[in-house]
Homo-oligomer: A and B are copies of this chain.
């Protein structure tokens, strides 16, 4: 190896409200040595995702909080450099829970081989990976889409939302996306086949805009944002509608007492609406089935995707912070070219 140093990002303090660059630190550490059954992986692409804001918070959740001072975790695709595990050899492309780092040592049993045949390896981090599975579970398993439904997706140009909307289209639904930039709205309608897209930042009366785009009301709301966008959509839920709660990025930086946490108390009785939160990892028994469909639709060109790639480990924290400004279109990735 040319270098013996491993640059990696550590959480230096827990953010209060909006995270800032001061909450993270790029350190320079020795490249770790793989022990028995372990594999040394050089990161190629790492994924930064909104859910990571939750891991930075010291509170009970479905996963443990990240320890302060330690390197931060990320799903990543990389190349095997050294392997003490029989299933992997140098040069293999693998996927796993690595770090915001140039290198990582991982137990081989926690790694998967990435199919390098049909699509770029980075797609294992979005349309063919967790975001794609999340979109499928939320739309089909939790959302129970039915042909003829009107489906509204928020954060619709994001990694999950863009796939969710396309799956709903494949399922025979009218699909309306809500997003925060005209360029994203155009991508949704012109390239992804959404029936309509609403830019919530430039719309005066969001509730009226939703009504306009959904003349028969909303059967399924795929919820990624929370806050005022959600209030506007929930005005238009019809009888026996569903809300699949995947995330609430507009609220992730709110602390107790923050006004963003307050809004209409929407617990629908009249419309018999079912609102249900989900975590994709609960549905692991469906992943083989879901992966096969996602891959087929990508091969058939029925599922489009887009990546926003930030280059260099040193820019990983900026890429993460940008998620909260909506700077990314499609999946936000960090490409790492360690040498």
Contacts and interface: CB of A to CB of B under 8 A. Distances in A.
A239 B278 CA distance: 10
Interface in A165-207: none
Given A262-B264, A262-B265, A275-B276, A270 B61 contact: yes
Contact of A265 (B226, B272, B273, B276): B226
Interface in A241-269: 243, 245-248, 251, 261-269
A267 B279 contact: no
A315 interface: no
Given A62-B239, A262-B262, A278 B269 contact: yes
Contacts of A262: 262-265
Contacts of A271: 277
Nearest to A247: B269
A41 B22 CA distance: 77
B245 A267 contact: yes
A223 interface: yes
Contact of A273 (B246, B248, B277): B277
Q: How large is the interface on A (under 10, 10 to 19, 20 to 34, 35 or more residues)?
A: 35 or more
Contacts of A276: 272-275
Nearest to A276: B274
Contact of A274 (B54, B231, B264, B274): B274
A256 to B, nearest CB: 10
Nearest to A278: B272
Interface string A52-90: 001000000110000000000000000000000000000
A162 interface: no
Given A239-B62, A262-B262, A274-B274, A230 B269 contact: no
A269 B282 contact: no
Interface string A302-332: 0000000000000000000000000000000
Contact of A245 (B231, B246, B264, B268): B268
A141 to B, nearest CB: 12
Nearest to A234: B267
Contact of A267 (B62, B269, B277): B277
A292 B266 CA distance: 35
A245 B265 contact: no
A227 interface: yes
B261 A269 contact: no
Contact of A275 (B275, B278, B282): B275
A47 to B, nearest CB: 19
A247 B223 CA distance: 24
Contact of A62 (B62, B264, B270, B274): B270
B267 A243 contact: yes
A237 B26 CA distance: 38
Nearest to A274: B276
**A-B complex: 5 closest residue pairs judged by Cβ atoms:** A269-B277, A275-B275, A274-B276, A263-B265, A245-B269
Given A223-B267, A270-B277, A271-B277, 8 more contacts: A61-B270, A226-B265, A245-B268, A246-B269, A261-B265, A269-B279, A274-B274, A274-B277
